[in-house]
Each structure stands twice: as structure tokens, then as C-alpha cells.
Amino acid sequence: MTAFWQLEQYGDAVAVISEDETQLTYRQLAQSVSTLAEQLPARALVFCLCDNSPGALVGYLACLNARAVPLMLDKNIAPELLQQLMDIYRPGFVWKQDDAEAGTYQLHDLHQPAPEMDDALALLIATSGSTGSPKLVRQSYQNLLSNTRSIVDYLDIDSHERAFAWLPMNYVYGLSIINTHLAQGATLLLTNSGPVQPTFWRFLKQHAATSLSGVPYSWEILKKLRFTRMDLPSLKTLTQAGGKLRPELQSELAAWAAEKGLRFFVMYGAAEATSRMGFLPTELSMDNPGVMGMAIPGGKFALEDESGTVITTAGQRGELIYYGENVTLGYATCREDLAKSDERQGRLATGDLASCDENGLYTIVGRKTRFLKVFGNRVGLDELEHLVLKAFPATECVAVGRDDNVQVFITDAAQTEAVKSYLAQTCQLHHSAFTVKGIDAIPKNPTGKTLYRALEALCD
């Protein structure tokens, strides 16, 4: 069994402290994981409806130990989206909170035969944040182990770390924080609070968190809260991923971190690469605003032009290609896809356009495909349009925009507020992520294809 599942090796070291002050040693966590794992048949498909709590963590780890395959989902996923996934994948078990007793998780046996699954398959993660897409990323045991080792390496994580784990467990960035710190016998501080809540800061200070992670939107909020003026002496490491940080804010955070003797890492990743693919070493962060960095240990980047030819000229743009053991097996869009073997063979065409400078540092400059990073969640614009059209069949809808700002155009102006409220609730994203505008007609070319650029010109 691989290292980060061998929890008992860390004995009485504290593994988890939760917001309600529940504490578990590694020995206690291992026992809880073992007890649940004994109830799970090998290769069972399990839906884990999770939050950042010990119960959710036990469910995730028990699935891995039992060689059952979990699909990690937000416990607050919209019921209609959950039902869609249930209908498509037909899980044998659901691990979720007890309705009668808050914080307590229960295993529900749905008496559904297990699907045929590839033996390497370890974990399923939704691709599009919380938009309820049936498209899942198939991650292997080797993917998890390889990416965990790489991240531990470049972040230099050891048993003395106390990671502030507030990013969702069903999100690969949040899950990677859990994996890397459990692998090293460190302590996880699990919370469901956000930075605008006093409990967030009280918990961070009380338990002396040593690291804090966030997506670009998180750091924008922290800037507004004057985070850099706070007295947080325990913090040693700051990390950012989940989209491109504003170059100005990157420089500001890097300069402040350097002044305070902290480490600040800009990182790049995707669910298709388990979690991380690239990082910018902390000593380079201040002098390279907007730069993503280099490949993680064990990985490699390349750039290709539209014909697939490798680009070797510094400064020339191309599609970013990543090679590494953390490149996942491929996608699943239906139950039968779980039987597929490794379709990517260690190569991932990211869909991101990038350039590389003379020092071998990469900068993301755009995207080839129609998805955005919204507060750290990847949102497929085509899938979002489908949601609106299904809920509001009387209107036409087109979604465009940029990271952290989805612009939705509809032909029924009277429904703008209703559509905005629906998207915020259904996608479990803050309403500020969406701008909904009424428009007389969707611009199209003579063949009936939507003119997206004409709409992008109308964006704020």
C-alpha cells in the first residue's frame, strides 16, 4: 500500500483538527478509515458527498484503502445535478452526512452492481467545478502518488506543517493539500469557513496554521480584507493556483512575502493532471509578474503550433503540452467509460496557449477552448448554456466572458435576475461570478453559428 494511505506509521501525531475542535491522531484516523474500508467491496463505485470535515476525509481515504472508486462531490450539489450523475453512473454506495445528526457521515448501500472498471482507476473528479457535468476525470493510483511526491518535493512539506485546508475537498487543489500533508505526517486544519467570516481567522490563529492556499479570487478578497496588515506569525507558506493571478497582485504578494520572510508560490494545474503541473519558485515570483513558471519535478512542458510542430523559439506562442506520470487516464462521460484504460499515455494537451522565455519560464497567454476558471472552478460555457436553456426554455442563451466573470446573454430581458440567481444557486458559485444581460437577438453568421466575438465586444 502506498505511503499516504499508511496513516498508522505516524502514530499519535495529530492528523486532523476540525472547526468544531474535533481532533484525530494518525492512529485514530487510521482506525476509522480501516473500519469503513471493511464495509466497502473492492472496485465498488462510491459517491462521496463531502465537505471539509473528518467524516468526509475518512470516506475518501477508506475508498482508496479498499480499492473502491470514489466520485468526490460537494455535499451541497444541486439535487437535479446529483440525480443526473446518479442516473448516468449508478453508484453502489453513497457516503454522506446523516440528515439527523450534523457532522456524522453514513454509508448508504444502493444495492447496485459495480460497473466494470479499469484496475488502475482510483478516483473520479468532475471536470467543470459544480456545473454538474457528467464528464469526469479518471485518476489512477499512480497519478495520485506521483503528483503527491512532486508537490511535497517542491513545497518541501514535512511533519511540522499545519495546513489550513479550507479549499473544497472535491476540488483537486483542495484534495492535493490533503494528500501531500497526510503523506508527510503533517496536521490538517479542516474548515468550511471563508475569509470573510471571523471563524476563519480565529481558527487559523488558534491552531497556528503554517500555510494558506487560494485561487485568484481568494487572494483578491484577502487583499480587500488587508490581509498583509494582519498579525499571523505562524504562517510560512502561501500558494496560489486555480487560474491566473493578476500580475500586479502577484508582485504585491511576492514583495510582501519576501519582506516578511514567507514563501509565496504561484502554481499551475488541472484535474486532468491530477492537480499540479507547474510552479514558479518563490525566489522568482517578485521579478516575474504574470509568469506561471516551470514544470514540477518529474514533469516536462513543451509548446506546439497548430500543425503539432514543437516550438523552440523563445517568446513564440503555442499550445502548452505537459508530460508526466500525473497525467490522468482520460475522461468518462458514462458508466461504461470507467472500464477504459490509459488513453493519454502521460501526455496532456492542456488547451492553454503559452509562451516560454529565454530562462525556460512559461506564461499562460490564453485558451483554445470554451471554458473559464471561475473562483478556482473550471466552468464549461457550453454546459452552462445548456443549464439555462433547460431551466428557461423560452429564451436563447449564449455564455462568454473571462476568468471569474461569466457574461451570459439572453433574449428575454425580463428573466435576467432570475437567470443570475439560478446560475449562482445551481453552480454553487457567488452571484458576482455572473453578469446576465438581455439582448434583442443572438448575433449569428449566415450558416447559423453564433458570433461569439461580437458578444465578447459587448462585455464589460
Spatial CA neighbour of 354 closest among 436, 425, 291: 291
Indicate if 419 and 283 belong to the same structural domain.
Answer: no
pTM of the entire structure?
Answer: 0.85
Indicate if 120 and 213 belong to the same structural domain.
Answer: yes
Number of domains in the chain: 2
pLDDT higher than threshold 50 for residue 324: yes
Q: Which residues contact 129 (CB under 8 A, 6 or more apart)?
A: 171, 374, 376, 377, 378, 379, 427, 429
Indicate if 189 and 261 belong to the same structural domain.
Answer: yes
Spatial CA neighbour of 340 closest among 194, 189, 124: 124
Indicate if 162 and 199 belong to the same structural domain.
Answer: yes
- The pLDDT value recorded for residue 403 is 85
Q: Which residues contact 397 (CB under 8 A, 6 or more apart)?
A: 385, 388, 389, 408, 409, 410, 411, 419
The residue segments making up the domain with residue 95 are: 3-366
Q: Which of 327, 350, 366 is the last residue of a domain?
A: 366
pLDDT higher than threshold 70 for residue 133: no
Indicate if 299 and 333 belong to the same structural domain.
Answer: yes
- Which residue would you say has higher pLDDT here, 68 or 386? 68
CATH number of the structural domain spanning residue 57 = 3.40.50.12780
Give CA–CA dist 19/180, Å, rounded. Answer: 20
Mean model confidence pLDDT for the chain: 92
Percentage of the chain beyond pLDDT 90 is 78
Q: Which of 330, 348, 366 is the last residue of a domain?
A: 366
- The pLDDT value recorded for residue 447 is 47
Indicate if 275 and 359 belong to the same structural domain.
Answer: yes
Indicate if 357 and 378 belong to the same structural domain.
Answer: no
Q: Which residues contact 285 (CB under 8 A, 6 or more apart)?
A: 250, 253, 254, 257, 264, 265, 266
For 348-396, the pLDDT digits (tens) are 999 998 999 999 999 998 777 777 888 888 788 878 888 898 899 889 8
- The pLDDT value recorded for residue 11 is 97
pLDDT higher than threshold 70 for residue 37: yes
CATH number of the structural domain spanning residue 389 = 3.30.300.30
- The pLDDT value recorded for residue 95 is 98
Cell of 137: 476525470
Give CA–CA dist 263/391, Å, rounded. Answer: 46
Indicate if 119 and 203 belong to the same structural domain.
Answer: yes
Q: Which of 348, 366, 384 is the last residue of a domain?
A: 366
Spatial CA neighbour of 57 closest among 85, 115, 27, 18: 18
pLDDT higher than threshold 80 for residue 275: yes
For 157-204, the pLDDT digits (tens) are 999 999 999 999 999 999 999 999 999 999 999 999 999 999 999 999
Mean pLDDT of the region 270-291: 95
Indicate if 92 and 196 belong to the same structural domain.
Answer: yes
Give CA–CA dist 434/405, Å, rounded. Answer: 6
- The pLDDT value recorded for residue 446 is 55
- Dmax (CA) for the chain in angstroms is 69
Distance, C-alpha 330 to centroid of its chain: 17
pLDDT higher than threshold 60 for residue 129: no
Indicate if 357 and 226 belong to the same structural domain.
Answer: yes
Indicate if 381 and 346 belong to the same structural domain.
Answer: no
Give CA–CA dist 126/62, Å, rounded. Answer: 20
- The pLDDT value recorded for residue 130 is 45
Indicate if 337 and 378 belong to the same structural domain.
Answer: no
Mean pLDDT of the region 394-420: 92
For 427-438, the pLDDT digits (tens) are 889 999 999 999
